[in-house]
Amino acid sequence: MKDLPIAIVGAGTAGLASAILLARQGWPVTLYERVADLQPVGAGILLQPSGLAALRHIGLLDECTTLGAPVSRLFGTSACAQRVILDTRYAHWQADSFGLGIHRGVLMTALLSAARAAGVTIRTGIAISRFVQAPGHVRLLTDDGRGNESVLGEHSALILADGTRSQLRAQMQVRQTVKAYPWGALWSIVPTPEGADSTDLRQWYRGCSQMFGIMPTGVTHDQRQTKLSSLFWSLPVASHGAWQQAGLEAWKDSVRKLAGEPAEAFLQAIETPEQLMLASYADVRMQQWHDGRVLAIGDCAHAMSPQLGQGANMALVDAVALADALGACRQAQSADPAACFAAYGAVRGAHLRYYRQASRLLTPLFQSHSAWLAVLRDSALFVARHLPMGRQHAVTTLVGARTGWLLSGKGAAPLHAWRKLPVEPALEATSV
Ligand SMILES: Cc1cc2nc3c(=O)[nH]c(=O)nc-3n(C[C@H](O)[C@H](O)[C@H](O)COP(=O)(O)OP(=O)(O)OC[C@H]3O[C@@H](n4cnc5c(N)ncnc54)[C@H](O)[C@@H]3O)c2cc1C
């Protein structure tokens, strides 16, 4: 694996974070991204202590915590705050821990400049259409959309970090399923109204069929004066057309009836329906993540619904685990990428399995038309709030620490990133 570059496809969270760590270990790394001009765009995301520990390992924790907004708890109520349904506090895990609401563009900007500084060769505007494995190398191909293919050269290994809708994953000789969720979410990022600053990620629910959320999202590199918040609204993907036809005022009325007065100032920032973007998601399952010299990571390997707020965190932990596995191979002077990738898979298995299962189970409890699932959810969350064991399970799930339904510490090898590197206290005052 020494001489040829490692190819990474996709300059998202997983691809950039892996590229940085591998380049710093001395591997030649070429990163291919289909988007020509990488812009700091995307939704607000919640980084968990697991992802923050990985960022600290990469050396970007300070930059991200300076710009992001600390989140001390997830707080959800029924319509107009009549009944508390969800109240999970980071302090119940570790006194000084927190989540970080951050604009995806901020994370991308930080990762991109670190990748450039680490010497990663970044080739944008190139969509990889196919790969061919041969003894000793992997060849990448791109086509011009008219059927003319060009070969991009030989690489010692290929990391697929091309997201949920990867066109390349299916070329791996690995059993896999991709199942789209029927529900998605409308999201927008707006300036935080005067006096509405909070460290709560706030949600309101009506049964499982309506959910409105507000998440503090911090500032961006370019606009450090303007504090931002992310708004989320659950919606069946198939109802998006009907939502557009009903008009913006009809939607605002629904939000007012659900969330009441606290939502009002945020709603004023939404003037056109185009400010609300529809995100759809899918569940990706693979029997294993590698096939010879090719490895899938991030959403390409294990996309899940964002209900648990784990996808970007998993992508960051993947990058740290991958760098550890390849670093160990380098030390052992192993020339067999498949063995290194198998070692990576063994380390990531339990952690990813738990979060995939949990997000699949949880999603219909927040996004469906079922009345009995709402009762089940509210009862389970009542236990999670009032019994120490339930509270512990909820908070260890939230922070990204679990590796099984019964375990939260044992077998936490994938989290060696944070066992070695505990998250430092950075949240001075919380509203808990
Ligand atoms: C509404 C919403 C809210 C979310 N909230 C959270 C949250 O709070 N917390 C959290 O942790 N996660 C959250 N997520 C999930 C998180 O955004 C993803 O899990 C994460 O971005 C995955 O990163 P990735 O690098 O694997 O993939 P991506 O970010 O999708 O990156 C894939 C990259 O590959 C490129 N690419 C694709 N195909 C090719 C090709 N053939 N050739 C070259 N390049 C290619 C794409 O252009 C893209 O840049 C949320 C997701 C959504 C939709």
Q: pLDDT, tens digit, for every residue of 253-286?
A: 999 999 999 999 999 999 999 999 999 999 999 9
> Would you say the CB of residue 313 lies under 6 angstroms from ligand 1?
yes
Residues of the chain predicted below pLDDT 70:
1-2, 407-432
Burial of 84 (C-beta count, 10 Å sphere; 0-12/13-18/19+): middle
> Would you say the CB of residue 218 lies under 6 angstroms from ligand 1?
no
> Would you say the CB of residue 240 lies under 6 angstroms from ligand 1?
no
Task: With beta carbons less than 8 A apart as the criterion, state whether 236 and 247 touch.
Answer: no
Q: What is the pLDDT of residue 176?
A: 98
Tell how far the Cα of 10 is from the centroid of ligand 1, in angstroms. 9
> Would you say the CB of residue 68 lies under 6 angstroms from ligand 1?
no
CATH architecture, range 6-180+281-417:
3-Layer(bba) Sandwich (3.50)
**pLDDT 10s digits, 86-103:** 999 999 999 989 999 999
DSSP-based three-state secondary structure for 170: helix
Within a 13 Å sphere around the CA of 298, how many CA atoms are in the beta-carbon half?
Answer: 25
Task: With beta carbons less than 8 A apart as the criterion, state whether 68 and 101 touch.
Answer: yes
Q: What is the pLDDT of residue 414?
A: 46
Q: What is the pLDDT of residue 409?
A: 52
| 311 Cα nearest atom in ligand 1 | 19
Pairwise CA distance, residues 114 & 17, whole Å = 9
Residue 94: other Cβ atoms inside 10 A: 15
Q: Which of 45, 178, 286 to mutate to test the pocket of ligand 1 (most atoms within 8 A of CB)?
A: 45
Pairwise CA distance, residues 73 & 431, whole Å = 8
Pairing of strands 200-206, 210-218: antiparallel
> Would you say the CB of residue 71 lies under 6 angstroms from ligand 1?
no
Closest listed residue to residue 122, CA positions, set 5, 292, 270: 5
Pairing of strands 99-103, 69-71: antiparallel
Q: Which DSSP state fits 162?
A: -
Q: Name the residue at shortest CA distance from atom 19 of ligand 1.
A: 311
* Domain residue spans of the chain: 6-180+281-417, 188-279
Pairwise CA distance, residues 148 & 229, whole Å = 45
> Would you say the CB of residue 216 lies under 6 angstroms from ligand 1?
no
Within a 13 Å sphere around the CA of 401, how many CA atoms are in the beta-carbon half?
Answer: 22
Q: What is the pLDDT of residue 102?
A: 98
Pairwise CA distance, residues 377 & 381, whole Å = 6
Q: Taking the model in full, what pTM does it have?
A: 0.94
Task: With beta carbons less than 8 A apart as the criterion, state whether 354 and 308 touch.
Answer: no
Tokens of 205: 């629910």
Q: What is the pLDDT of residue 144?
A: 82
Residue 335: other Cβ atoms inside 10 A: 12
Tell how far the Cα of 268 is from the centroid of ligand 1, in angstroms. 29
| 310 Cα nearest atom in ligand 1 | 11
Tokens of 260: 């009441």
Pairwise CA distance, residues 158 & 166, whole Å = 14
> Would you say the CB of residue 42 lies under 6 angstroms from ligand 1?
no
Task: With beta carbons less than 8 A apart as the criterion, state whether 217 and 201 touch.
Answer: no
Closest listed residue to residue 424, CA positions, set 13, 65, 34: 65
